[in-house]
A and B are shown apart, each in its own frame.
Chain A
């Protein structure tokens, strides 16, 4: 089983749609969680950190469920510019430091 697993893509949605991405992690030593987006052939850009209390930034809402080892990202009112690959990222301390990136979920928003 992969340490960080994401929904397989791609997601094809119309503008204005709400879309949700899920991510599960297997190691309970995981300590911090993030969502990044990556455009084609560019560097990953931080979208938001993820907290147990949930956090919201405009149209984006992230949630962490430690008991279920599950992270989610909700995008409301999708824009064409939201088209990208969304990466779930987990930092863990297992005696050594590790950052694990999920394989990513590709989103296409169409007019």
Chain B
């Protein structure tokens, strides 16, 4: 049973470009969560999605950031017009259900904005 997969593992973008981060949940998991971790800081919740639905996006910046989890294919976190402050590790996690279920994390995507 493959774990949570994320790609790319490392992404370098120049200021103003777009970044697309992909996450494939564990088999059988229909709940996906995205987190951001700045250097030397803790994880910050960004968004919680189920297939074709955004359940909670209270942690997402209001501009430039969006997330989707289509019926087919991986979940995508999209950052438009990246700035240096977007440089961070972005982790995706998945779970089989809501609230009481453990989340399992992917290896993360390290985004560097130059």
Contacts and interface: CB of A to CB of B under 8 A. Distances in A.
Contacts of B48: 97, 99
Interface string B89-114: 10100000011111111111000000
Contact of B45 (A32, A44, A101, A103): A101
SS class, residues of chain A in contact with chain B: strand
Q: Which of under 10, 10 to 19, 20 to 34, or 35 or more describes the interface residues of A?
A: 20 to 34
Contact of A43 (B33, B44, B45, B105): B105
A59 interface: no
B56 interface: yes
Contacts of A93: 99
Given A31-B100, A97-B48, A43 B91 contact: yes
B28 interface: no
A43 to B, nearest CB: 4
Contacts of B42: 87, 101-104
A66 interface: no
A96 to B, nearest CB: 5
Contacts, number: 54
Interface residues of B, number: 25
A91 B58 contact: no
Interface in A63-111: 87, 91, 93, 96-104
Interface string A31-57: 110100000011111100100000000
Interface of A: 31-32, 34, 41-46, 49, 87, 91, 93, 96-104
15 contacts: A32-B101, A41-B89, A44-B43, A44-B91, A44-B105, A45-B105, A46-B102, A46-B103, A87-B43, A91-B99, A96-B58, A97-B99, A99-B45, A101-B42, A101-B45
